[in-house]
Amino acid sequence: MARFIAVRLITAVCLLFALSMITFLVYATIPIEPAGFLVDLQHAKPAQIAAAHRALGFDHSIYYRYWVYISHLVRGDFGVSWTSLGIGYDGQIHGLPVRGMVLDAAGVTGSVILGGAVVLILIAVPLALVSARVPRSILDRAVVAVSLIGISTHPLVIGLVLQSLFSVHWRIFQGGYCDLTGTTPPPLNTHFITQQVNPCHGPVDWASHLILPWITFALFFVALYMRVLRARLLETLNTHYIRTARAKGAGEARVLVRHALPNVIAPTIVMLAMDAGTAIGISIYIEVVYGLQGIGHLVLTALSGERGFDLPLILGVMFISATAIIALNALADVIARLIDPRITSISRAGAGGVRSGLA
Amino acid sequence: MRAWRALRADRMLFASAIAAVLLVGSITFGPPILSAIVGHSSDTPFPYATDPITRKPVGPLTKVWDTTTEYTDDSGYIRKPPPKGTPKTWLIAGADGTLGRDELLRLLEGGRTSLEVAVGGTIVAMAIGVLLGTIGGFLGGFIASAISRATEFVMAFPLLLLVIAIGSQSHNGVDDITLGFLPRGVFSLIMLIGLFTWFYPARIIHTQVAELRNRDFVEAAVMIGAKDVRILRTHVLPHVLPTAIVYTTLLIPVNVLLEAGITFLGVGIKLPTPSWGNLLSAVWGSVLNPQYTSTALRSQVWLTLLPSLMIFITVFTFNQLGEGLREAFDPESRQ
């Protein structure tokens, strides 16, 4: 087991390294003029542009730039965001560090995804229990039908409908986002309107701001998870030990919750971890609909700046989200192995099924 | 033949197959037939289909003056009706926005764009996925683990983030590739989607082929000295084909949603080419706060509702078709 974990860890680090290289090279091939972030390109003299390039480290070859990038990266330095660049009173170039920006945004995205995953389990497990209890009943079919509507509607549309009903029309839940920790991310220096994030009045306030995004998130995945959970439950209910439990006089509720459910929960957690990539994708839609300032918002802002795109910011977002995905995938592998030692990495067909394609 | 019997036996599958045919048919043949009947194309602007002051588009089932010029009085500011004898035309789903184009025609043509992206992206992903999955599963050993690593590598990318980031920068040369029949930008989106979604079919096919590889009939074929290519063609591929068909059907709705999302975020298909993504984003948000958005777009819920509905119908149909096919090919999975 220790060997498996070690191998998995080394693979993960190698993957991460390769990924950082590929993303860097991909973006380096896109022609951009970073000097525009420091000087006015229409009036600047060539010498000023050259000086700007030198200040941004753009006068070196791409390989050297990658070396500089990666050697800063291993020390946890993601560079500064180009859009925020400015020359201070001391004549030096200053900018917002990418790391802080991405981590703040990742906090928003992370709270959407984690809360959404909890809501997902809270919805999917009872529904699966109900529909596995009496397969092919009217109740079962109704549950399946509702979840099919959830999976066939675009998350953007689900978000819009929920928001216009609960937030605008009935005014039950507030829109926007409030920060639980009380620190506010600095507004970005772009043409996007950035609202100041207001601190929360406690966890309940925080949850009431985020409940609609969580439900939107959960509705997208619920059909899939319910289908998998239901299939696994039906399979488990046919096993001998369930029959034994029934024979010993256990009530139906006890059989389902105490005997069948634990066998189903663990694989579900593995599935959740495997779906991290999809979850980040879905959370971009959710951030757009609900106006949350997560990493999706950060990337869209970084791409749509008037002066070109903000390379360090995009690389930072890519790297941090890839780290999260790779770490969760590795964790899923390890948990899956702990649950069932026969499982190998490739036979774990899975993760949310074909929907993984979505993000 | 077995599949056909299953198709007839399963009402849901039969219904979704018919719905899919109708959908694809109306999207492919609808626009030319419809524009021949109503006499205008999806790009014809009708100034009289919008409010003279706020430019709010008319709703569904409206008859408007069939003219692309707007007549004004002497001051040049106040609109007056066109000269006598100007015919009228039907806008069945209303007008699409301030320009007053035919929303129904744009929906159908947008559907064509969206389905082209979805089907194209699926074909690219399945081609790569089936190829790599079959090779990896059949040969095993070093090649298999190399392919598995590559699969994991692609999986590790935050797909949507990457597609947005690359897609927003790739408009220069790639967008102009049309292969003679695709609208601008479709090809690059197809490649982008295809190149980042092949890992799922690859994993499925890999697992299945690796399983088949150890079955007795394949062992027997190896033993009598059959060549790899022959074993693959006569013994392995027939078993893989149903899986491939099912996942092709299931990837299409995923890619319809993906196209709509990417285009909605401003990266995919660019106007004036209609697609469900940019039709959806056209008046986005006016549903949420009708009193604040610009008066031109005030409360035209139709323009958000109709594309949402089209996306929903398409995704639902293809999902049901895929699930039905899965059950038809593998009756044991039915529960």
Q: Is the per-residue pLDDT at A193 higher than 50?
A: no
Of residues A67 and A265, more confidently modeled: A67
Q: Which helix (H) or strand (E) holds A206?
A: helix A202-237
pLDDT (average), residues B20-48? 82
C-alpha distances in angstroms, A312 versus A82, A96, A101, A102?
7, 11, 11, 11
Q: How confident is the model at residue B106 (pLDDT cuts 50, 70, 90)?
A: confident
Q: Is the per-residue pLDDT at B162 higher than 80?
A: no
Nearest Cβ partner for B168 among A231, A303, A359: A303
Nearest Cβ partner for B264 among A148, A156, A314: A156
* The pLDDT of residue B126: 92
Q: What is the 3-state secondary structure (H, E, C) of A79-103?
A: CECCCCCEECCCCCEECCEHHHHHH
Q: Is the per-residue pLDDT at A38 higher than 50?
A: yes
* Nearest residue to A241 via CA among A221, A226, A255: A255
**Beta pairing, strands A178-179 & A198-199:** parallel
Q: Is the per-residue pLDDT at B133 higher than 90?
A: no
Q: Look up residue A353 and give its DSSP letter.
A: G
A154 CB near a chain B CB, below 8 Å?
yes
Structure tokens given for B286: 């006016």
CA distance B249 to chain A (A): 10
**Chain A residue whose CA is closest to B254:** A358
Q: Is the per-residue pLDDT at B297 higher than 70?
A: no
- Which of residues 40 through 99 in chain A touch B, CB cutoff 8 A? none
The verdict on a CB contact (< 8 Å) between A349 and B255 is no
A359 CB near a chain B CB, below 8 Å?
yes
Q: Is the per-residue pLDDT at B123 higher than 90?
A: yes
Q: How confident is the model at residue A349 (pLDDT cuts 50, 70, 90)?
A: very low
Domains and CATH numbers, chain A: 16-77 (no CATH), 99-356 (1.10.3720.10)
The 10 Å Cβ neighbour count of residue A258 is 12
* The pLDDT of residue B175: 65
Residue with tokens 């993760």: A351
Q: Is the per-residue pLDDT at B156 higher than 90?
A: no
Instruction: Using an 8 Å CB-CB cutoff, list chain A residues near B319.
Output: 148, 151-152
CA–CA separation, B102 vs B42, rounded Å?
Answer: 6
Q: Nearest 5 degrees, angle CA B280-CA B303-CA B185?
A: 35
* Nearest residue to B179 via CA among B249, B116, B109: B116
The verdict on a CB contact (< 8 Å) between A148 and B319 is yes
pLDDT (average), residues B234-258? 86
* The pLDDT of residue B287: 59
CA distance A168 to chain B (A): 7
Q: Note whether B64 and B58 are within 8 A (CB).
A: yes
Q: How confident is the model at residue A189 (pLDDT cuts 50, 70, 90)?
A: very low
Long-range CB pairs of B228-232, under 8 A, 24+ apart, other chains included: B228/B138, B232/B134, B232/B138
pLDDT (average), residues A260-274? 78
Of residues B11 and B21, more confidently modeled: B21
The verdict on a CB contact (< 8 Å) between A168 and B288 is yes
pLDDT (average), residues A250-266? 78
Q: Note whether B188 and B175 are within 8 A (CB).
A: yes
Of residues B291 and B205, more confidently modeled: B205
pLDDT (average), residues A135-139? 78
Mean pLDDT, rounded, of chain B: 79
- Cβ-in-10-Å burial (0-12, 13-18, 19+) of B100 comes to buried
CA distance B34 to chain A (A): 27
CA distance A187 to chain B (A): 21
User: What residues form DSSP beta bridges with A178?
Assistant: A198
Q: Is the per-residue pLDDT at A109 higher than 80?
A: yes
**Residue range A141-188, pLDDT digits in tens:** 888 787 888 888 888 888 888 888 887 777 777 766 666 655 544 444
Instruction: Using an 8 Å CB-CB cutoff, list chain B residues near A164.
Output: 287-288
The verdict on a CB contact (< 8 Å) between A26 and B166 is yes
CA–CA separation, B257 vs B310, rounded Å?
Answer: 11
Nearest Cβ partner for B260 among A154, A277, A309: A154
